[in-house]
A and B are shown apart, each in its own frame.
Chain A
Amino acid sequence: MTDLATSAPDVSTAAAPARTGSSGSAWVKWLARRVGLAILTLWLCSVLVFFATAALGDPVRAILGKDYASSPERAAALAAELHLDQPVIVRYFEWLGGLLTGNLGNSIANGFPVGELVGDRIVNSAVLVLISAILIIPVAFAIAMISANYRGKRTDGVIQVIMITLAGLPEFVVAILLVALFSTTVFHLLPAVTIAGGGAPPWSKPASMILPVLTLVIAVAPYVSRIVRSSLLEVLDSDYVELARLKGVPERIVMRKHALLNAIVPGIQVIALQLAWLAGGVLFVEYVFSYPGIGASLVDSVRNSDFPMVQVLAMVIAAVYVGINLVADVLSILFTPRARTAISS
């Protein structure tokens, strides 16, 4: 049994022995270009982040607030600590150098090294996003497959209405409803906030992570499932799927082997976009659930005008964004035979 979906790579691998060297180097070149672009993007981000935070008013005044007038010594000390006497370009390159060598500077708010302050929190946030992502992918694909299978029937209609409704709800409404339902008002089954760890990582009390994860899944899965559903439908209508059916391949296998693999590519793209969004969107969810991640730190640092912290956290979020998109691009190419051959030939 041959099908069109996998026939193209078969051709390229059949001819591979002669072309291995050149196709390998083509891949390396292609990858190097993508990575280079990603680094360029990050560099531009660093310029934006630094100048946006360094150029917005007088940081010393912002930090001291009411005390600025009454304690000129503290103002002078802060100005010295922030090297405000140097030109902004010099400060930028010093900061960039520090960022690259892992010397992230000290928080203005409490003088501790930024790396120490954000390390655990970045891990906590990453775990939250990762668990959500791991749940989102199968949930979204399962819903999409069921929906596509029952296309036009009542099941599909009901699922689509639910998905559109959930997609339309802002995540803070979802969070509030979930808390009211499971923690405070109706049932009393789950912790309402993620504080139960007593300082230990949040996953040491798995129950306290259920609601934040659920909120993120509900916020993201509907989009993904709708995109996957529509690309599934497109594939199911295509000639080669029709051909497979005509050849008597069972619908179940048509869906799994022929349709799903080809619907994965748009799925990867939308999942990547949503995960990248999660890197920022998680801030709000963390806030509502008092989750000890970077969200509260970022809000707090902005409020404190704690520039070293804001800069590092903004760069982390930017890096996640760029990184996820890079991975998604590579995966999309790998899953698209035509694109794959285009690069290697």
Chain B
Amino acid sequence: MRQVDAWRPSRRDILKLGMAAGVAGLTGLAGCGAVPAKPDQNAPQLRGGVYSHGATGGGLKDTLEPYFPVTNPDIARCMQLYEPLLRWDANYEIEPSVAESATPNGDNTQWTLRLRDGVEFHNGKTLTAEDVMFSLGKVTDPQKPGSGGTELAKILELKNSKIVDPKTILLQLNQPYAVLDQLLAEYTVGMLPTDFDVNRPVGTGPFKFNRFVPGQLSQFDRHDNYWDGPPFVDQLIIYDFADDAAKVNALLAGQVQSVDNLPNYLAGTIEQQGASPLISETGAWVPFTMRVDVAPFSDVRVRQALRLIVDRQQMIDQALNGFGILGNDMYSPFDPAYAKDLPQRVQDIDQAKSLLRQAGQQDLDVELVTSSAVGAGAVESANLFVEQAKKAGVTVRLNKADANVFYGDRYLSWNFAQDFWNTRNYIPQVATSSVKGGVYNETHFDDPTFTALINQAKAEPDEAKRNQLLHDAQKIEYDTGGFIIWGFKRQLDAYSNLVQGLQPHRYLPCSNFGFKRASFVTPPT
């Protein structure tokens, strides 16, 4: 049996770190030689130790369900236990995972999956095509589709799909779908064995289940036969943290080696105390949403005027504490088809005024509905918008609604409001937000030319041609859409300088919760 408490940072390490931090804190001598420096990411990595991660949020809703993660720690747990067929790499591009390849036929209606050899579940069983069919059936179960299976269920025809041999599956779709691989790379479509039991969860991920206390912690052991190289540490514990201060204190006191979702204002201070921020780009956005089917927003000139009113840089600086990337009223910035060539929209009050005059709305007076429930940056950017609109003579009345009201009866029918979206590529995003029938189409956008372009793109096997179609679709949204997308958030996490191996990642926080690549910098004692 493996020694569980094989290694924790020794008392001396902690004292060293602490004294150094104390000196830095008391004298304000940031970066004086004694503070442990940022680890050399290229140094050879050491084995052993118990790695603790502080995850933000969590609570009684915590679950180990592979297809229904609710809280942020749930996502972190999913990433340790289960693996999808394909996965997102650090640049938000698809790479093979437990499947070696996923290739479409000529018209994108059939996809062939090839499984990797020797992928082993935590219980020692080898992953087979049957497990994959079982998992896909479970995630797209019409009675209870998983959060990653809703879109998949609409296009996948499992009845007509078949197992060709134990390593090969032919997936039949009911419509052409060019980016099935993107849906299969979501962390919510992990592969399970056919005898899966959530009380003893088994997957193919780098860590295997040990114990789980909802709202407190989950504990995992290294999966020694992990196909992608076993993790460096022996054991992983993910703690729930309800309070930001407690989370950061635990990091600085050496009780956890990393935390996700560090408050932006702390990025500078932790560097003086033996920890490093981990900053990643993301495609997450907090747009203003204008309903294109009700006055005054039904007039495209009004929508464009409001887009020109926004000082995007100011919003990033003040609403996101500078942790953002400029937005150009289009989403999915990491999609290969993202229309980078369209000119960056900047604040232009004269142009906005002129557009409003043409629309007969020079004294425009609108209500903007916001809520702290929308997430970080929402209420702040709404306040900024009120100020910025004044310059163009537009009166914006701010309605700060409670969560229950904001996401209540009138959610998805507010005339002018906000919402939050996480990183998605273009086609999956359009399906939920920008076509008739999209579940969260808060702008009520429904442009026949746009929808036709999207449908054409879904069936187009040639990537260059497909991207051109998507580019044309984005141009329509750029010119007439109902979103004001002023920026994308940067993700801020942090790790102790006593560990190495965490890298910025565009998909999920804290290096894609990639603790399999983390290791302690000092050898086990």
Contacts and interface: CB of A to CB of B under 8 A. Distances in A.
5 contacts: A68-B407, A110-B63, A117-B214, A186-B26, A309-B60
B249 A199 contact: no
A344 interface: no
Given A185-B22, A290-B242, A193 B411 contact: no
A107 interface: yes
A179 interface: yes
A48 interface: no
A193 B412 CA distance: 41
Nearest to A121: B215
* Residue of A57, A109, A187, A198 ringed by the most chain B CB atoms within 10 A: A198
A193 B253 contact: yes
**Most B CB within 10 A of own CB, among A117, A179, A185:** A185
B21 A192 contact: no
Say whether chain B's binding surface is mostly helix, strand, loop, or mixed: mixed
A171 interface: no
Contacts of B22: 185-188
Contacts of B408: 61, 68
B18 A289 contact: no
B273 interface: yes
A26 interface: no
Nearest to B404: A62
A185 B25 contact: yes
Interface stretch (A31-39, A273-281, A295-303): A295-303
A287 interface: yes
A198 B219 contact: yes
A69 interface: yes
B309 interface: no
A156 to B, nearest CB: 33
Given A186-B22, A192-B255, 18 more contacts: A57-B404, A65-B403, A109-B61, A110-B63, A112-B60, A112-B214, A183-B249, A184-B18, A185-B22, A192-B252, A192-B253, A193-B246, A199-B216, A289-B246, A290-B240, A290-B243, A297-B60, A299-B242
Interface of B: 14-15, 17-19, 21-22, 25-26, 52, 59-63, 211, 213-217, 219, 237, 239-243, 245-247, 249-250, 252-256, 273, 373, 403-404, 407-409, 411-412, 439-440
A7 interface: no
B407 A300 contact: no
Contacts of B214: 110, 112, 117
Contacts of B213: 199, 292
Interface in A192-221: 192-193, 195-196, 198-199
A159 interface: no
Interface string A102-122: 000001011010000100000
Nearest 6 interchain pairs by C-beta:
A188-B18, A300-B59, A192-B253, A192-B249, A184-B252, A185-B25
A70 interface: yes
A292 B215 CA distance: 9
